[in-house]
């Protein structure tokens, strides 16, 4: 079957978060992490079918969806889970916040590595926890956790490690050894792990394999809250359907208690879309990965040719993390916005001087944006 990732629908005037930011301005939006591609056709069909039924009542997670998720985790990650390990969520961000409330007590510490997806930086505070930030290192030519700093930072009040795997924004797929190091550190310091794996199905580098943290060992399974969703994989973030996988019953109870009374259930369209995606979306997904790989290469080549910008190979996701510090630009997100390209500001991820570029869009639009970035830099030099 052919899939078209070259032409995308006009998203202006559709209340799109990504596109509304620049409504009425000639700025190409390459910021928030959704893609401009329509979701897989079987998902659209499942949504049509559900709507045609006409009754929009309170809805449980369908047993057939639970089975679809179990099959998905087994087929792709050799992970055998029990149905009652699943906790359905209206979003992964909800799960990050519930995890911070479920683990430890107010005043305890939550450790994460920066830069990182902004809700990692706010969820601990929302829960009255203290955030401990460990800057990642690029010593070995790629971004990774600084294990020495982690060992030095973990103390008696450290209760939770928040891990983004694969990592947004640096695009790393962590190796088995790196993940084992993190798990060992958590065992040593008696910390639990919240592993946000929302980007796990978007591995672009064919030499890399995503491993769910909880599958590394029995010790990992007994201390990990895994957060996943079909929303990045199949471009469904507006439907608000995600889930946690939590094996230990006591941890699951605490997680559910943290959500009680404030977290609504997933809406019926989210469930319908998730099931159709996991059952019938994989051909589309394979074609998507090819399209993203081509866009990744376009970005890498173009940014590599821009004086003063540095980018790292993207192993997973559709996001490129770019260091603008060598160019000496004061506020890089504002600078490129003035040049007609809307990027995410690294400061929001805990690292000013960087920008994040979302290449989940039509190649023609991407090329135009990259040309604008090059022109903005050239104008400045000239």
The single residue listed with the structure tokens 């909800």 is 94
Name 257's Cβ contacts closer than 8 Å, sequence gap at least 6.
Answer: 102
CB of 330 to ligand PLP, least distance (A): 26
Using DSSP, state whether 328 is helix, strand or coil. Answer: coil
Lookup: tokens for 254: 């605490």
CB 376 within 8 A of CB 339: yes
CA 334 to chain centre: 24
Q: Can you point out the beta strands (E) in 229-286?
A: 242-246
Interface pick for ligand PLP out of 19, 72, 117, 143 (rule CB under 6 A): 117
Lookup: tokens for 325: 């510090």
CB 350 within 8 A of CB 115: yes
Closer to ligand PLP by CB, 168 or 295: give it. 168
CB of 93 to ligand PLP, least distance (A): 3
CB of 331 to ligand PLP, least distance (A): 22
- Ranges within 165-204 binding ligand PLP (CB under 6 A): 168, 196, 198
Does 115 bind ligand PLP (CB under 6 A)? Our answer is no
- Ranges within 125-164 binding ligand PLP (CB under 6 A): 164
Nearest residue to the partner ligand PLP, using Cβ: 91
Query: What gap in Å lies between CA 27 and CA 173, rounded to an integer?
Result: 31
Does 33 bind ligand PLP (CB under 6 A)? Our answer is yes
Helical H segments across the chain, by residue range: 17-20, 41-53, 63-77, 92-102, 119-126, 147-153, 176-188, 218-221, 249-259, 268-280, 282-304, 332-338, 363-381
- Ranges within 240-279 binding ligand PLP (CB under 6 A): 242
Closer to ligand PLP by CB, 237 or 340: give it. 237
Stretch near ligand PLP under the rule CB under 6 A, chosen from 3-11, 85-93, 203-211, 266-274: 85-93
Closer to ligand PLP by CB, 231 or 295: give it. 231
Closer to ligand PLP by CB, 168 or 224: give it. 168
List residues binding ligand PLP (CB under 6 A).
33, 91-93, 117, 164, 168, 196, 198, 229, 231, 237, 242
């Amino acid at each position: 079957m052919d899939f078209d990732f070259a032409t995308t629908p006009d998203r202006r005037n559709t209340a799109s978060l990504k596109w509304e930011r620049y409504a009425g301005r000639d700025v190409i939006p390459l910021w928030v992490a959704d893609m401009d591609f329509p979701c897989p056709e079987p998902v659209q069909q499942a949504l049509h079918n559900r709507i045609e039924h006409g009754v929009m009542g309170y809805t449980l997670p369908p047993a057939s969806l639970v089975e679809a998720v179990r099959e998905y985790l087994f087929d792709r990650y050799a992970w055998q889970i029990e149905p009652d390990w699943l906790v359905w969520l209206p979003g992964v961000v909800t799960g990050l916040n519930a995890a911070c409330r479920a683990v430890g007590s107010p005043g305890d510490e939550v450790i994460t590595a920066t830069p990182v997806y902004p809700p990692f930086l706010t969820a601990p505070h929302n829960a009255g926890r203290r955030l401990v930030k460990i800057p990642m290192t690029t010593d070995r030519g790629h971004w990774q956790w600084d294990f020495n700093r982690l060992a030095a930072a973990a103390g008696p009040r450290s209760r939770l490690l928040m891990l983004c795997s694969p990592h947004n924004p640096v695009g790393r797929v962590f190796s088995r050894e790196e993940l084992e190091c993190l798990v060992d550190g958590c065992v040593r310091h008696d910390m639990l792990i919240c592993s946000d794996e929302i980007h796990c199905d978007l591995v672009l580098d064919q030499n890399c394999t995503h491993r769910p943290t909880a599958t590394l060992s029995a010790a990992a399974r007994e201390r990990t809250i895994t957060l996943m969703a079909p929303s990045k994989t199949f471009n469904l973030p507006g439907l608000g359907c995600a889930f946690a996988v939590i094996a230990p019953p006591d941890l699951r109870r605490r997680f559910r208690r943290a959500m009680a009374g404030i977290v609504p259930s997933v809406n019926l369209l989210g469930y319908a879309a998730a099931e159709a995606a996991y059952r019938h979306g994989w051909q589309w997904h394979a074609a998507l990965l090819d399209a993203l790989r081509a866009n990744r290469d376009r970005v890498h080549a173009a940014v590599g040719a821009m004086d003063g910008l540095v980018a790292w190979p993207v192993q997973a996701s559709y996001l490129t993390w770019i260091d603008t510090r060598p160019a000496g630009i004061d506020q890089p997100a504002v600078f490129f916005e003035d040049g007609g390209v809307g990027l995410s500001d690294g400061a929001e991820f805990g690292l000013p001087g960087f920008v994040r570029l979302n290449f989940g869009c039509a190649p023609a639009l991407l090329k135009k944006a990259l040309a604008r970035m090059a022109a903005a830099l050239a104008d400045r030099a000239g």
